[in-house]
Each structure stands twice: as C-alpha cells, then as structure tokens.
Amino acid sequence: MPSKTALMAVFLVLSIFNLLVGYAETHAEVKGESSCAQDAGPSLLQLRTQSSLFNAPKEEPLAIIPAPKSVLRKKGVLEIPRITVDAPAALVRTLEEFIGPTVTSEDAFFQLRLKDVKLGEEGCVLNVSDRVVIEAASEHGLFHGVMTVRQLLQKDSNSNDLNGSRWKIPRVEIRDEPALHWRGLMLDVSRHFFYPADVKHLLRTMALFKMNHFHWHLTDDQGWRFPVAKYPNLIRLGAFRRASPLGHTDRTDNTPYNHSYTELEIEDVISFAESLYIQVVPEFDLPGHSQAAIASYPELGNFDSSEHWEPQVATSFGALPYTLSPSEKSVNFTKDVLSEMARLFEKSSYIHIGGDEVSTSQWSKSPVALEVARENNVGLSHLEGMMLEKASNHLHDLHRNAVVWDDALDSANSLPQGTVVMIWREFVGLGKQGDKAAARGHSVVLAPSEHAYFDRWQDQKHAEFDAICCFTPLSRVYDTPIRAGRANVLGIQGQLWSEYIRQGARNLDYMAWPRGCALAEVAWSGEQRPGFQDFRERLQKRTQEICFALEKNPRFFTKR
C-alpha cells in the first residue's frame, strides 16, 4: 500500500508539471516502491524531460535552484561508489537525511570543512574534482552546500551495482552566498490546522531551497493553537469552533473543528527546524484577530460595548470586529502570552505580534476604551498603536525583537528600534511604507500581497483545489520586488493563509510549490537572478528533487 508521503510526492510532482508544461488535467498514481521500477516502465519524469542531467549535452547549464552566485563548470563527472563522509556530526545526519546512508572515513568522498571563505555566515564554496569538498565559515553554510550537492547528485542508471549506491556528480566549482538574509514562508494554522508532521514536511522542502525563516501564525479569530499554562481556556475553548465556512458562501458546514498543539509537539517542530537551520518566528496576533482569545476569556474583550456579550470562536472569515480591550487586564494578558511564547520559542530572536486589520467599532462603543483614549489623549485608531508599543517593549525587555504587519505604521509611532515591519499592503505602496518604516528606524521584510500570497490561484483553469481569489502565477512570484523605498530590506516571505487550504498537506504542497521555489530564488539571488525562462527550465529538471524532499525514494508514475 503506498505511503501517505509517497502519494503527496506524486501529487506535487504532477502539479508542478501541470503548471509548467500545460498538462492541467494530468493526474498520477503510484505504481509501487522504487524496487519495482523495472515493472513500472519509464517514469512520467523520464517521459516528460526526455533526458537526465548526465545524458544531456555537456554545455547544458546546471539546474540548481536557487541559482548560485558563481559557477565554474569543469570537464566530466565524478563517480562515487558510496557515500563516505568526513564532516561535523550534525552535517553527517544531514547527508543521511537528504542523500542516504553514509560511512564515516578520513579519506572520504564527501569532505565538509569549517573555513572562512569570505562569503558570510550562510555562504559556501563547493569544489568537485576527485572529491566533493564543501567549505564554509559555519555549519549553516555547510548545510547550504549539502543542499546544492543534493540537487547535483544523481544515481548512475548504468551502474551494475545491485544496491543502487553508485552516484555521479558533475565536476564543478561553486561560490555561493545569499543576497537577502530573511527567506521565508508563513503558515496560518488557525483557519485550518496542520499537524506537526505536515509542518515538518513543509520545513524540509523549504530547506532544500535554502529558505531559513518559518513564520508560524498560531492565533486568529478562527482558533487558538498553542498552550499557555496560565490561560487553559485558550485551548479548552479557543481551539474549538462550532463550524467552518462552506466554500465561498455565507453558509457553514455544521462540523465542529477542534485542533491545537501540545507543548511537546511545538518543541519537536522547533527542534526539527533547528536541524535545518530554519528560525521559527511565532505569531500572536493582537489586538485585532482576537475573537478566539475573547471567546475563551470574554472579559479580555470590549464586553461593555454590547448588552449581549457572548463571543464565540469565529465561524466566518475576513476582518472581524472583535478586538482586545485596551484595559490593563488585557494588556497584562498580552504580556503573559508573549512571555510564554518567548519561553517556549527560546531560540527565536523574533516574535510576531500582528497589528493588522484592527477594527475600532467595538472601542467606539466601549466606555473603558473611550476612557483610555481620553486619558492618553489619542484617537481610537491609536489605541492599537499603544497596545503594540506595550507588547513590543515587553518583548524588548525579554531580549526579543517584535515583528508587526505594516498596518501598525498607521497607529504606532514609538515602537522599539529593533522592531521589524512586515509589509504586505502592496496596494498602499511598498516604497511609501518602506520610507515610513525607514524614517522610524525599522528594517522591513517584504510580504507583498500581489506577488507573495500563495493562497491565490496559480492556474487560470482553477483545476486543482480552491483559492481565496485572484491569480498569482509562477512568473509573477519570480518578479517579487526586493526594494521598498529607503528601507533596509532584510528579505522576503511567502504567505500561506489557510482559509481555503483546507484539504491537508497535499493541498498545502500544491499552493506552496513551485511558487516557493521562485520566491526562494528571488531571495537568494536577488537582482542577479538569471530570469524567469532560465528558472523555468531549471525547475523542470528539479522536479525529481522536489519529489525527493517529500519522499527519500521517489516513486515511478504513469499517466492515468
């Protein structure tokens, strides 16, 4: 019986071909384990690409994603009978995870060395001659070198080795380093939940393409997903909603939805991310998008704004009116949650505190909110800024930096200098928002809605899965801007909002890839990226590696 992971690999590979080659209606089925390859006949991958890297003309460029900074192609290929390694222990585990079983040896084919190669913390030099030698100033850089090797390394189809352990790799010298530091994806687990195995699956694929920041959107109106010991109702009540929206209608499915992570599960995901040199950036969205928290503890909301105050976890999507009260009780709640988040995510230097789409409608009817605004001599819209400033200053005291959505620039004028602004509102203007952030001393991460929102359609026929709206094809993602006025741009990030990513990990894969590959190249190669057509050709050859990221032994496929 095919494994779930194998089926996911099948689906993703075919989805990529649908998008790249125009086979919008193509599907696939697993024919068996890789040991049954002879029975299965030619794979779909072989039929579509016609030739492998090593049967192609010698002048054909190497198909590496993201494109390296500098490549010197040498003559011929290096044949490797088995994977022998001389490397730091953590990188030996990486080789085993991404390539296969290894044998430690001082006279190894794979030699990974810590050395200052003048390419920064994440840069590396890969030299393939009679050995595969990777040199870097840090283990993070060596890790990136292994990811490049994984894309170059191929099984020798002509080998007589019954164990299939003979490999080939082109002789090459590569010097590489990223253009941007922050290369990330955001996953919303509030609207629809993703199990730890699904999250780790996404992280592993990110790592293959050298992405290094995972933004975990853990709270929103539709569900609270992480435990806070002081506030048990956040899970007991806040993780449960009575129903979910039914497609793009006003109706619901009348099906209870109740999911959350345990502390141990979160720690496991964090540990896995660390092994891939990916920093996890957790998000507690405040003071808006807080209906699940208010449903758990109604006194945290603007209970004095209505005669009938019975908040429930949201069963609809969109920007909803529930906001945390600006009262001392609610402010202390936000500090308690952030303290717990800092404890649980102890190695995360950034914590996202939201600040987007905050309604003032309940504040305008709340005597408590009106009094807080009067005492501080601010308008209602600036109550948001006050709460974000208190939250970010609390994080500063915990030696963490806050991240906020760029909406916060409209209401918060005194955020700590280390606060990072994540600009999503492309319709307001990246340059305008970047200049505003720069004037206040904030660096930015670009998350532009028209280029990097992966919850939108990527095929015009809408052949696979649902989407929130619009059309964001691969080519548009490849044109993602990396400048925002005078701002210091730390990097770029793709957003996987999950209102309509509701069919599990397979659905998530389809929305994330191959658009995530395009974003990874933009972030890594920057202004030096070689162009969309070049990228597209390389991506067609990398489909097997995307499959590998999902399943160590890619299956053989046939057209149904």
* Residues designated as active site: 357
Whole-number Å distance between alpha carbons of 403 and 239: 24
Whole-number Å distance between alpha carbons of 16 and 514: 6
What b/e readout covers 420-450, taking b as 16+ CB neighbours within 10 angstroms? bbbbbbbebebeebbebbbeeebbbbbbbbb
Whole-number Å distance between alpha carbons of 355 and 524: 28
**What is the CB neighbour count within 10 angstroms for residue 175?**
18
Identify the three-state secondary structure at position 45.
Answer: helix
Q: Which amino acid is at 270?
A: I
Whole-number Å distance between alpha carbons of 355 and 336: 18
**CA quadruple 498, 500, 504, 506: dihedral sign:** negative
**What is the CB neighbour count within 10 angstroms for residue 106?**
7
Q: Tokens 């929206």: give the residue.
A: 245
Q: Which amino acid is at 117?
A: V
- The CA-CA-CA angle for residues 506, 507, 508, to 5°, reads 90
Short-list 306, 213, 314, CA closest to 257: 314
Whole-number Å distance between alpha carbons of 237 and 215: 24
Whole-number Å distance between alpha carbons of 257 and 259: 7
**CA quadruple 301, 303, 305, 311: dihedral sign:** positive
Q: What is the 3-state secondary structure (H, E, C) of 164-223?
A: CCCEEEEEEEEEECCCCCEEEEEEECCCCCCCHHHHHHHHHHHHHCCCCEEEEECEECCE
Question: Facing residues of 213 across strands?
Answer: 184, 279
293 φ, ψ (degrees, to nearest 5): -65, -40
Cβ proximity of 29 and 558 under 8 Å = yes
